[in-house]
Amino acid sequence: MKQPNIVISGGRVIDPTNQIDAILSLFIANGKIAAVGEQPDGFVIDQQLNAEGAIVCPGFVDLCARFREPGYENKATIASESLAAVRSGITTLCIQPDTIPLIDSPAMIELIEEYAENTGMVRLVPIGALTKSLAGAELAEMGALKAAGCRVVSNARQPINNLLVMKRALEYAASFHLVVMIQPNEPWLSQLGVMHEGEISTRLGLPGIPETAETVAVAQIIALTQQIGVHVHFSQLSCQRSVHMISRAQYDGVPITADVAAHQLHLTETAVEGYNTMSYVMPPLRAEQDKSALRSGVQRGVISAICTDHQPHEAAAKLDVFSATEPGISSLETMLPLTLKLVAEGTLSMSHAIERLTNGPAAIIDAQLGSLSPGLNADVCVFSPQAEWTINHQSWLSEGKNTPFWGEEMKGKVMYTIHSGQVVYSDL
Amino acid sequence: MRQNAACLQLDQNGRLRHFLSIAGLSRELLTEIMDTAESFGGVADQVVKKVPLLRGKTVVNLFFENSTRTRTTFELAAKRLSADVLNVNIATSATSKGESLLDTIRNLEAMHVDMFVVRHASSGAAHFIASHVAPHISVINAGDGSHAHPTQAMLDMFTIRQIKGRIEGLIVVIVGDILHSRVARSQISALIRLGAQEVRVIAPRTLIPEGIQSFGVHVFEQIDSALSGADVVIALRLQKERMSGAFLPSEHEYFSCYGLTEQRLKHAKDDVTVMHPGPINREVEIESRVVDGPHSVILQQVSNGIAIRMATMAMTMSTINQTRSQQPK
């Protein structure tokens, strides 16, 4: 089937990779970016999309999401969450390996990619397991995972208690030039905690997670990385001191990168007041100074990507006493509005904001993504930065309604999402 | 779901409709609880120890955690108010068969009950139930996790007021495991709200929760200086599990560093009052001689528990009755 030739005209094209920020037309042919600016010779327009007043940028790349399939289809499915993703301008998502069965074999890599292909809306990038069964004791078959196309491995939030196993896992991953994604967490320090340890956890009587649960792990991994030279990507930071340590290590030339979940840049521990289970998330929402430091990290590029850490849940998972509920926020659909809020508040310029959602995360997994360079797959997002919408049952597409922003007004709405040259979402 | 405890436990007119925590309650309301308890003081001395305030009402004691003292005093309090009492022992009941807490509540609601007295090992349990029950049901927190035990705190305030005549201006010392103690949190909130001059806490750092200073207390390291000039000393129970959790090396060391002894009490005021929420570990957190000595009011606390529980049950039920009678039929 021939794919239509599309022109997106009248919009402000922002492509951080090519340092473009201007009102230009974008031409798409055969599923690829054909040109930005001048119409290529012989380009016959099949479909014209009007983007006046809107921003045209590469489709967003999310480094951490859970679609719950396979294994937890009662919470969400690849089909339901793909729709929520494209509605949010996200065209590529990394899937954490903690599905059932786990992503620890070439067969599972193929299965996830096949699911995505059948759904036909987004590109799913399966993240392979770092250790066998994520149990933290033996190495996963990373060579086979790499051969199957896997570029990133991770132990999700499962602990590796033995540092020697961690060291060898990093060394083994380095042999295959895999990126190791780590959600820094020292399990002995976080074990029973359900929220940030501080004044509010003391008042609510909820077991706290000290910031050292994260910073001790960050310090250990930085030291190991310094020795081994493997590319480690810290995912979902939550603490001021982690940002400081990573900034310092990057300055020293240690090959580490980092991301943060969008909600960490807006919410703090106070969101848990009243035992609000919608704000129960791992790592926990922390103090005001942590939020500020994370914002500053994003601004300076110490944190090069903003992710969703999307975790949809069924209603019952959040309906119990706080400690008995499941952590996680359904967050695909708030990623863009929350990032645009940083622009409105003066923390980020629009092009920096786009960068943290496109070529920033793409650089971690695949440099062929997150840009509008001619010849690359045409993954494009067109959004209106000023359009407002309210989070409610009519507007929300994810199966997981678990967001602390429920009922709130959001600014920033996707008009079109294009995946490999196909319009997969249109807000018309 | 985002309602804080203060809004949830008061009705539109600021009257008590649930009793979940001390936080957010005014000094006037706390005083009203004590005054109401005082008015019930005579009931126990009558030949028929009953008043008909809760006649025809069904109170469910919903205990997800074991308790002897609290459960029995709640039961007695409900009976003295002429209520029917149902004791539901959840440890051997529905939730252990996999039923969710919310389903358990829905089922009990369907039996047309009027009040839940809830004890639960998880912080926020009473708050959760109060946010989900039908509007004609009142919830009283009989202890949730490490969060709150408001009736215990109020019976302690009531006891202090009986003995000292006031809370205002007093120096009160709380000794022991503040970290895990819901009693301590509620006591501190109540003492501060009722105008105590100074609230001091003393324990090793492993048992002092992060940010406790924000409650308005002073943290001490030396028990002798903490006791200096104290009007009231409250010792907290030390759970045996604290040794295996590496909070403390041994009971012996705890007693020698933090145990409340007759010798140490000499640093306090001559008329110091010694309290303990029970159950007591003699010679672990408190010396036997102090428990049974002239400063101890530990048994008076227990008797007062019934009056305070009667007061909070009567007040919440009256709020709900008034709301219902104002609604158009």
For residue A199, give the nearest of B1, B145, B211 by CB distance: B211
Tokens of A269: 């521990």
Pick the residue from chain A with its C-alpha nearest to B8.
Answer: A274
Please give the average per-residue pLDDT across B48-64, as a whole number. Answer: 91
The gap from C-alpha B316 to its chain's centroid, in whole angstroms, comes to 16
Looking at residue B92, its pLDDT comes to: 56
Chain B residues lying within 8 Å of A210, measured CB to CB: 210
Phi-psi label, residue B297: left if phi above 0, alpha if psi -120 to 50, beta otherwise: alpha
pLDDT digit string (tens) for A266-320? 999 999 999 999 999 999 999 999 999 999 999 999 999 999 999 999 999 999 9
Task: Give the pairing type, strands A305-307 and A256-261.
Answer: parallel
Distance between CA A380 and CA B279 in Å, rounded? Answer: 67
For the full predicted model, state whether its pTM sits above 0.90: yes
pLDDT tens over chain A, length 428 residues? 578 999 999 999 999 999 999 999 999 999 999 999 999 999 999 999 999 999 999 999 999 999 998 889 999 999 999 999 999 999 999 999 999 999 999 999 999 989 888 988 999 999 999 999 999 999 999 999 999 999 999 999 999 999 999 999 999 999 999 999 999 999 999 988 999 999 999 999 999 999 999 999 999 999 999 999 999 999 999 999 999 999 999 999 999 999 999 999 999 999 999 999 999 999 999 999 999 999 999 999 999 999 999 999 999 999 999 999 999 999 999 999 999 999 999 999 999 999 999 999 999 998 789 999 999 999 999 999 999 999 999 999 999 999 999 999 999 999 999 999 999 999 97
Query: Which residues of B lie inside 8 Å of A (Cβ-Cβ)?
Result: 1-5, 8, 23, 100-102, 120, 122-125, 127-128, 144-148, 182, 185, 209-212, 214-215
What type of residue sits at position A90?
A: I
From A197, A276, A323, residue closest to B122, measured CB to CB? A323
Chain A hits for B127, CB-CB cut-off 8 Å, are 274-275
Which residue in A392, A393, A385, A374 sits closest to A413, CA to CA? A385
What residue in B sits closest to A211 (Cα-Cα)?
Answer: B210
Kindly state the percentage of chain B with pLDDT values over 90: 81
Listed in sequence order, the residues at least 6 apart from B326 whose beta carbon sits closer than 8 Å to its beta carbon are none
Strand order through the sheet with A123-126: A60-65, A90-95, A123-126
Tens-place pLDDT, residues A172-215: 999 999 999 999 999 999 988 999 999 999 999 999 999 999 99
- For the question of residue A309 being annotated catalytic, the response is yes
- Residue A143 in contact with partner chain B when CB distance is under 8 A: no
Q: Say if A288 is an interface residue toward chain B (CB within 8 Å).
A: no
Which residues of A are less than 8 Å from B245 in CB distance? Answer: none
- Residue A275 near chain B (CB below 8 Å): yes
Interface membership of A268 toward B (CB under 8 Å): no
Where helices occur in B119-221 by DSSP H, the ranges are 125-132, 150-164, 182-193
Q: Does residue B144 contact residue B294 with C-beta atoms inside 8 Å?
A: no
Contact B1 A321 (CB under 8 A): no
- What CA–CA distance (Å, rounded) separates B222 from A356? 52
Where are any strands of DSSP class E within A183-325?
A: 195-196, 208-209, 232-234, 256-261, 305-307
Q: What are phi and psi of A96, to 5 degrees?
A: -65, 150
Total number of residues shown for chain B: 329
Which residue among A198, A206, A319 sits closest to B123, beta carbon to beta carbon? A206
Q: Does the model's ipTM exceed the 0.90 cut?
A: yes
B210/A321 Cβ within 8 A = no
A41, A309, A366, A427: which one is catalytic?
Answer: A309
Instruction: Tally Cβ neighbours within 10 Å of residue A12.
Output: 18
Contact by Cβ (8 Å): A197, A210: yes
